[in-house]
Amino acid sequence: MFYTLLQASSWAIFIGRFHPALVHFPIGFLLIGALLEIGRRTGKINVSESSIRFILLISAIGATVACICGYLLSLGGGYDAKLLDNHMWQGIGVAVFAWIAWLIKSDGFGGRIPFASVIYLPAFLLATILTLTAGHDGGSLTHGQGYLTQYTPEPFRGMAGMPPLEEKAEEIKPIADVQNAVVYNDIVQPILQARCAQCHNQSKQKGDLRVDQLAFLLKGGEGGPALIPGKGAESDMIKRCLLDESDDDHMPPKGKPQLTTDQITLISWWIDQGAPADKKVADLKANEAVTPALASLGEGAAPGLKKGAVKQESAIAGMKVKPASDQAIAALKKAGLIVNTLSQDQNLLEVSAVNAPNFDDKQMDLLKSVSQQIAWLKLGDTKITDAALEQIGTFPNLNKLHLEHTVVTDKGVAALKGLKFLEYINVVDTKVGDAGLKDLATMKGLRSVYVWRSAVTDSAVAQVGRQNPALQIVSGFNEAAVAEFLKAGDTTATKGVTKKL
């Protein structure tokens, strides 16, 4: 009766969720107690028995409370039963042995327990050891088994007899021959592993769902089957991915890495074709929507294509800052700068010096007052130098930067490295060289660099491009490239070359 009541009530889950937070207290207290006990017995430190007794008491209370919360959390279900069982009994063990150790030392009971002095140390030791093992199992329940040692480096890996480190799970490897790839094994399962399996695996089955095998997808979870073969659009997993991210039923949950439009298209397409386990891409009927998505899987897909076909929001899309003061904006306008608000509610600004060709380093101070708000800054064709870039490097939310046709150099560009929202930089016709490009390539968020007519060499563009496939480096072209381009028209009437996908 009480059990069913608890299961139905949101109180149970509310209290239960405190388990992962509370559980760290008894762990810490017990370890401190054990260390003090060792210190005391070896005579290294001077600490009274009453201090250790007090620590034991709060450890025992803490462990008990953690046990209760943990039990309530487990009612929610979705965990590997065996692992959960182990974890529970070890946790209860911690509490029991902590209480025993405290009882032996307590004034009231200590004298009445036979062999008290003999039991004390083993009890304390057991409580401490069980803390560690229970903690480890708890970690496995939350993060999945093997989480702790997944990235063990060599040579320890070999010594421990672990298989060599696999590619990072979140990265989906390009497929060498897309047409001959098995849709389920080579395309669908890697996406599920990267985006869904963290919570839906053998040891953690949120909503009673596992995604690691096709049979489990068909069986589904609490809400019924995850997919209906032949009906992609009606399948629960597709519907959930397409819900608004703020919706409670949306998957993956808000804040976790999301599936791209292409990935959803691919999975939906596979379900539409009956969700076969062993069919290859070539065996299935490709349609217009899935063709570019398939193309984006291949090795050496054009970088532009990868970026374009995959929906990619700007890093500043959801950013909100305090509005700039009216005086600051008026001062910028007075200096001939264009100041536009980028979008409603965000208060981010676009500042352009297109009407102020004489804008120089001295006027940079004007921008200080809106340093938080500037997202797009256009200082192309102005008189700024590297000194201005020192200041620009302190504009935390800068997203696009135009420096074309200025005298900036590598030294100035180096000052921009800390701009974590910068996605676009234009150094066309500047003195920026290879060192500057390499500095820019270290910026994780950067998507495109334009280096035509700068001092950047072609070999550096090729090298940096190879090392940073996600970065689009556009170097433009010269007379030879134009001559090559003009050949396209030579064969107007006879050309019939079909380039394969």
Instruction: Give contact residues for another protein (rule: CB under 8 A).
Output: 288, 291-292, 295, 298, 301-302, 304-305, 307-309, 311-312, 314, 316-317, 338, 340-344, 346, 348, 352, 354-355, 402, 404, 424, 426, 428, 448, 450, 452, 474-479, 482, 485-486, 488-489, 491-493, 495-501
C-beta of 255: minimal distance to another protein in Å?
A: 21
Question: Which one, 160 or 497, has the nearer CB to another protein?
Answer: 497
- Residue pair 347/323 in contact (Cβ under 8 Å)? The answer is yes
C-beta of 168: minimal distance to another protein in Å?
A: 25
The whole-angstrom separation of Cα 362 and Cα 66 is: 62
The whole-angstrom separation of Cα 336 and Cα 352 is: 9
CB atoms within 10 A of CB 209: 23
Question: Which one, 167 or 479, has the nearer CB to another protein?
Answer: 479
HSE of 307, CA atoms in CB hemisphere, 13 A: 14
> Residue 204: helix, strand or coil by DSSP?
strand
C-beta of 20: minimal distance to another protein in Å?
A: 37
Question: Which one, 146 or 396, has the nearer CB to another protein?
Answer: 396
C-beta of 351: minimal distance to another protein in Å?
A: 11
Question: Which one, 69 or 294, has the nearer CB to another protein?
Answer: 294
- Give which of 124, 9, 20 is closest to 75, Cα–Cα: 9
Question: Which one, 63 or 309, has the nearer CB to another protein?
Answer: 309
Phi, psi of 205 (to 5 degrees): -120, 75
C-beta of 494: minimal distance to another protein in Å?
A: 8
C-beta of 309: minimal distance to another protein in Å?
A: 6
C-beta of 336: minimal distance to another protein in Å?
A: 9
Which residues have C-beta within 8 Å of that of residue 37, sequence separation ≥ 6?
A: 52, 124
Give the position of tokens 């032996």: 104
The token pair at 334 is 């007075």
C-beta of 446: minimal distance to another protein in Å?
A: 13
Question: Which one, 46 or 492, has the nearer CB to another protein?
Answer: 492
Question: Which one, 207 or 323, has the nearer CB to another protein?
Answer: 323
Q: How long is the chain?
A: 501
Question: Which one, 33 or 380, has the nearer CB to another protein?
Answer: 380
The whole-angstrom separation of Cα 12 and Cα 19 is: 11
CB atoms within 10 A of CB 485: 10
Question: Which one, 50 or 478, has the nearer CB to another protein?
Answer: 478
C-beta of 263: minimal distance to another protein in Å?
A: 15
Sign, Cα dihedral of 245, 247, 252, 253: positive
The whole-angstrom separation of Cα 314 and Cα 318 is: 9
Angle, CA 140 vertex, CA 137 and CA 145 arms, to 5°: 125
Which residues have C-beta within 8 Å of that of residue 4, sequence separation ≥ 6?
A: none
Question: Which one, 86 or 314, has the nearer CB to another protein?
Answer: 314
Sign, Cα dihedral of 122, 124, 128, 131: positive
User: How many H helices and E strands in the chain?
Assistant: 21, 7
C-beta of 224: minimal distance to another protein in Å?
A: 28
Give the position of tokens 């909503």: 207
Angle, CA 193 vertex, CA 189 and CA 195 arms, to 5°: 115
